[in-house]
């Protein structure tokens, strides 16, 4: 069984106004003192109105879901104890007139000095899925084989349609905000692990980015763990949607490893097509066409069906087929989290939206 872990980022917001609230130090301390979360499972982020949780290494999706619910409940309770709420949204729907303070670590302060406006506007939250790989060479081969599916994962996960109190027209505005950093978006294709390392070192050596952590590709090798880290999804409204994404990413990795061992041909798509497909997915979510891994446009439903066919053997081997296919079917029926945000805002205004973003967080 290939192991998997999930990291989720949330916003800390005022329960009435929805404005980002810089209380991460207090919330982290309270959560770490409780019985539901270990200190290492709750972490600071770039801005003091963001907080991150990380599951332990998991073998099953039931474990992933159980840990996410536990950690969401721990952080939500700690936030409430400190006069704020956690909001499971990919971007802050409203912002105050003053920027949120940066978490005062040397690295984050250096980033603020280098790109102040980008840091001020970095009120965005994602879901990161880590999947174990046996070695770096296999990891790079996996990156080459899954990169064409990243726009589909992005389209499924879009949960950031609102910004500055307005509808951006995008399903994932977080993706657009992130794209302003020097190294972001889908990764290029690599000619093995040595080529991957050479290109990362060249990026750091250029002086444009400060360290390897600022290589914000939507999929990359983790520098901390023996894993592939897929970073394109927005944080999800519901924990079980994050579980769905974890199951899909694990199955994509397992399928890529099987194909690599069998010498199956790589799906070929020009980098500009992958990039364009990624922007298109961020713009429309599942409400228009999607660009498949070969660079061809199809209806979003057809591409999701192709994705499931592609990974069905891996899902079946892991015992995940029924759960993941059921959650994908629900997604197609209900729409993306971005669609749900828009409906909540239309039906209940800002109070209805905040109820969705904060009330759904501790539960499945």
Question: Given phi > 0 = left and psi -120 to 50 = alpha, else beta, which region is 83?
Answer: left
In a domain, 45, yes or no: no
Element (H, E) at 5: strand 4-13
Contact 67, 55 (CB under 8 A): yes
pLDDT tens per residue, the chain (364 residues)? Answer: 899 999 999 999 999 999 999 999 999 999 877 667 776 899 999 999 999 999 999 999 999 999 999 999 999 999 999 999 999 999 999 999 999 999 999 999 999 999 999 999 999 999 999 999 999 999 999 999 999 999 999 999 999 999 999 999 999 999 999 999 999 999 999 999 999 999 999 999 999 999 999 999 999 999 999 999 999 999 999 999 999 999 999 999 999 999 999 999 998 789 999 999 999 999 999 999 999 999 999 999 999 999 999 999 999 999 999 999 999 999 999 999 999 999 999 999 999 999 999 984 444 3
What is the model's pLDDT at position 191? 96
Query: Cα(148)–Cα(34) distance, rounded to whole angstroms?
Result: 42
What is the model's pLDDT at position 35? 66
Structure tokens at 93: 């729907």
In a domain, 94, yes or no: no
In a domain, 41, yes or no: no
In a domain, 184, yes or no: yes
In a domain, 49, yes or no: no
Q: Strand 127-132 vs strand 4-13: parallel, antiparallel, or unpaired?
A: antiparallel
In a domain, 54, yes or no: no
What is the model's pLDDT at position 57? 97
- Provide φ and ψ at 222, rounded to 5°: -75, 140
pTM: 0.96
Which of 250, 88, 278, 104 shows the shortest CA–CA distance to 178?
278
If one counts the domains in the chain, the total is: 1
CATH assignment at residue 277: 3.30.590.20
Maximum distance among all alpha carbons in the chain? 56
In a domain, 313, yes or no: yes
Question: Which residues on neighbouring strands pair with residue 87, listed in sequence order?
Answer: 11
Range of the domain at 160: 101-349
In a domain, 180, yes or no: yes
What is the model's pLDDT at position 39? 67
């Amino acid at each position: 069984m290939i192991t998997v872990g999930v990291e989720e980022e949330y916003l800390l917001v005022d329960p009435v106004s929805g404005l980002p609230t810089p209380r991460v130090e207090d919330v982290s301390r309270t959560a770490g003192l409780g019985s539901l979360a270990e200190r290492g499972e709750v972490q600071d982020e770039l801005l003091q109105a963001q907080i991150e949780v990380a599951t332990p290494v998991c073998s099953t999706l039931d474990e992933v879901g159980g840990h996410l619910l536990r950690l969401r409940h721990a952080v939500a309770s700690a936030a409430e104890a400190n006069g704020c709420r956690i909001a499971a949204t990919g971007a802050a729907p409203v912002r105050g007139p003053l920027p949120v303070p940066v978490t005062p670590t040397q690295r984050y302060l250096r980033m603020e000095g280098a790109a102040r406006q980008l840091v001020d506007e970095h009120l965005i939250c994602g879901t990161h899925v880590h999947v174990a790989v046996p070695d770096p060479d296999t990891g790079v081969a996996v990156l080459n084989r899954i990169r064409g599916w990243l726009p589909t994962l992005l389209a499924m996960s879009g949960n950031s349609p609102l910004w500055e109190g307005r509808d951006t027209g995008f399903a994932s505005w977080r993706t657009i905000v992130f794209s302003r950093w020097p190294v972001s978006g889908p990764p290029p294709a690599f000619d093995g692990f040595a080529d991957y390392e050479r290109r990362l070192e060249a990026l750091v050596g250029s002086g444009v980015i400060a360290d390897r952590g600022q290589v914000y590709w939507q999929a990359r090798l983790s520098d901390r763990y023996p894993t592939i880290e897929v970073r394109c999804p927005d944080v999800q409204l519901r924990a079980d949607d994050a579980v769905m994404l974890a199951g899909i990413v694990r199955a994509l990795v397992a399928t890529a490893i099987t194909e690599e061992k069998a010498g199956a041909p790589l799906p070929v798509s020009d980098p500009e097509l992958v990039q364009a497909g990624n922007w298109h997915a961020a713009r429309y979510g599942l409400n228009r066409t999607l660009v498949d891994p070969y660079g061809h446009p199809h209806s979003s439903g057809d591409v999701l069906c192709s994705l499931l066919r592609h990974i069905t053997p891996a899902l079946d081997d892991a015992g995940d087929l029924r759960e993941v296919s059921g959650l994908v079917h629900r997604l197609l029926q209900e729409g993306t989290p971005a669609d749900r945000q828009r409906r909540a805002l239309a039906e209940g205004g800002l109070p209805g939206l905040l109820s969705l973003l904060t009330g759904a967080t501790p539960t499945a």
